[in-house]
Chains A and B, each alone.
Chain A
Amino acid sequence: MSRPYLGDFEHLVLLAVMRLADAGYGLAIRDEIVRRTSREVSTGAVYTTLDRLERKGFIQSTIEQGTLARDNRIRRRYEITPSGRDTVGAAQRDIRAMSRGLGLREEH
């Protein structure tokens, strides 16, 4: 049976959602990725990826009321699902298995 495919950016977004736990809002997810990877990430790319992941069943979102700072626009809070957690775990195992013995050093 084939495992669900997880793209590079999807992988990063899922990890950010896991890291943020109860505070997995779109803006926070974007900032988390920018802060940790120094990648230039647009809000549009984050939301389209979040929506794709939700359709795959890896995350679920709840809609919350907006605040004054958001001009009273709604905000979406994302949480990882058990299926999403399993998929991230499997993707991480694949990366580790493929990297082993290559002499790659992790930067801190």
Chain B
Amino acid sequence: MGIDLEVALIRALAPSDLAEAIIGDLHERRAALAQTLGDSKALAASRSDVVRSLFSLLAYGASRSLADNWVFALACAAVTCALCVATIPLWNQIGFGGAGYHVLRLAIIGLVLGCIPRASTLSCAFLLLLIGAADWAIDVHETAVAWRVLSLVLQDGIAMGAMLAMLSLVRLLREPA
């Protein structure tokens, strides 16, 4: 187990072009520390370094993704949202208009957006914002209370987020350590 967990965390959070160099440094530092401090202390130092790195990697990864991909992600989200809004009457007509089907559709959207390189998480985040705005604009007479729109967005977010998390897990398991 040992360093595998750290490797998985770094891979999940660091930008892909930095991850391999960081993982290499972890191995090199751990090997050097193991010679002077012993294996268990070297492992503890390595873990502590990874834990202290998590926040900076997470924050930097998110900001870099936003800076690099926001136009592309926003375009993906806008097209998807437009399709969602345009097909609302269709789903009702063919009997797939219920809340359960809605969640299922959002999960499928999460799966599709999650497979698009460069903008998966960001496009889902933009899509949630647009869905919230669309919910508010379309059903303003029913959703005058903000929490109802928020609960709908949260429900959609959970459906898409679950798919994104599942995709990340699958990628993590498929990559060689």
Residues of A at the B interface (CB closer than 8 Å) are: 26-27, 30, 40, 42-45, 47-48, 51-52, 66-67, 69-71, 73-76
Contact = CB atoms under 8 A, between A and B. Distances in A.
Contacts of B26: 43
Range, interface on chain B: 20 to 34
Contacts of A30: 25
Report, nearest first, the 9 A-B pairs whose CB atoms are least far apart. Answer: A44-B53, A73-B24, A70-B24, A48-B60, A42-B52, A42-B53, A44-B57, A71-B27, A27-B25
B23 interface: yes
A95 B56 CA distance: 27
10 contacts: A30-B25, A43-B25, A43-B53, A44-B22, A47-B57, A48-B18, A51-B60, A51-B64, A73-B21, A74-B20
B132 interface: no
Nearest to B23: A73
By secondary structure, the B interface counts as helix
B24 A48 contact: no
A27 B28 contact: yes
A33 to B, nearest CB: 14
Interface in B47-71: 49-50, 52-57, 60, 64
A42 B24 contact: no
Contacts of B52: 40, 42, 44-45
B111 interface: no
B134 interface: no
Interface in B117-160: none
A44 B27 contact: no
A20 to B, nearest CB: 14
Contacts of A45: 52-53, 56
